[in-house]
């Protein structure tokens, strides 16, 4: 397991195929190889490509990045618990969008397929939990959502079903990876669905801070893992875009601050309402004391 974490299966398979191609191509040009050692043959080109596909980071740092990605992704998945709890307490979904919940399990399902094809457990395992978290959040959201969720269900089923079908085709890894790239960007950008409302009202009440922070940490760690360890553009490219989207989300909190809690607003109003009552009681006390006289 440790060796697999240092050298992910996706990168290992890519390097092995390139090295095999290098041996085959060099065997076709023995005269060129023997007469001129400095010439660039197809085999040497493939060998250089194999070197370029090797991980930049190995050993302990690679293991750290391999753990950081799934850990922050789990944090992102769990961040929806507070949102679902608030929806249940209020009895309504309010201004929250179903995009962040539906995209969570849809994105997870696509990357489960990709992780299985690439034989990369770092991708496969955390996305399996994302599917279950996303399904739970969506079911709870649907209980209090007034509008039909059918269009969301149909879209999600089409994406996951299409990815499963593409996995059986030639070049299935690239096809599923491309779909996963799109879904990853949608997932990390989903809180921005309420960006217009936030700017219009100059309030971040409709923007979940926990999900925005979790998305930022998740995107940063996965972008680093994809670029430095897995050497996989299907991992670092979408997460790089997601990192930009999450930075925009956090900047909205920097601009408009955090929304006040209802309890804090009520506590500020209570003293003002109680003061007149207290004054009336103090005025009534002398009258009661004068009664017996």
Tens digits of per-residue pLDDT, 113-123? 999 998 888 78
Report field, pTM of the whole predicted structure over 0.85? no
What integer pLDDT is reported at residue 192 of this predicted model?
Answer: 78
Percentage of residues of the chain with pLDDT beyond 90: 33
The pLDDT, as a whole number, for residue 151 is 94
Residue 255 confidence (pLDDT): 92
Q: Within its chain, how far is the Cα of 263 from the centroid? A: 31
Question: Which pLDDT score, from 0 to 100, does residue 102 have?
Answer: 94
Task: Please report the pLDDT score of residue 56 as a whole number.
Answer: 77
- Give mean pLDDT, residues 218-229: 89
More confident residue, 131 or 187: 131
Q: Over 90: is that where the pLDDT of 163 sits?
A: yes
Q: Does pLDDT of 240 surpass 80?
A: yes
Contact assessment for residue 110 and residue 134, using Cβ atoms and an 8 Å cutoff: no
**Taking the C-alpha atoms of 77, 83, 89 and 90 in order, what is their torsion angle to the nearest 10 degrees?**
-150
């Amino acid at each position: 397991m440790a060796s697999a974490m240092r050298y992910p299966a996706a990168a290992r398979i890519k390097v092995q195929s390139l090295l095999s191609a290098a041996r085959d191509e060099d065997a076709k040009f023995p005269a060129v190889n023997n007469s001129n050692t400095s010439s660039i043959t197809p085999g040497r080109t493939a060998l250089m490509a194999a070197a370029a596909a090797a991980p930049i980071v190995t050993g302990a740092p690679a293991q750290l990045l391999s753990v950081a990605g799934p850990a922050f992704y789990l944090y992102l998945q769990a961040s929806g618990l507070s949102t679902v709890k608030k929806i249940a307490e209020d009895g309504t979904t309010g201004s929250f969008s179903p995009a962040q919940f539906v995209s969570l399990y849809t994105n997870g399902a696509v990357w489960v397929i990709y992780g299985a094809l690439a034989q990369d457990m770092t991708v496969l395992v955390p996305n399996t939990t994302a599917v279950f978290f996303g399904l739970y959040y969506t079911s709870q959201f649907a209980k209090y959502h007034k509008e039909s969720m059918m269009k969301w269900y149909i879209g999600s089923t089409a994406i996951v079903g299409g990815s499963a079908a593409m996995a059986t085709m030639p070049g299935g890894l690239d096809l599923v990876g491309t779909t996963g790239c799109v879904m990853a960007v949608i997932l990390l950008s989903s809180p921005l669905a309420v960006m217009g409302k936030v700017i219009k009202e100059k309030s971040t009440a409709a923007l979940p801070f926990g999900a925005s922070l979790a998305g930022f940490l998740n995107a940063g760690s996965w972008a680093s893992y994809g670029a430095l360890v897995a050497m996989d553009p299907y991992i670092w490219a979408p997460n790089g875009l997601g990192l930009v989207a999450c930075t925009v989300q956090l900047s909205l909190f920097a601009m408009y601050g955090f929304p006040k809690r209802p309890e804090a607003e009520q506590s500020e109003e209570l003293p003002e309402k109680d003061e007149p009552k207290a004054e009336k009681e103090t005025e009534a006390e002398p009258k009661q004391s004068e009664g017996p006289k």
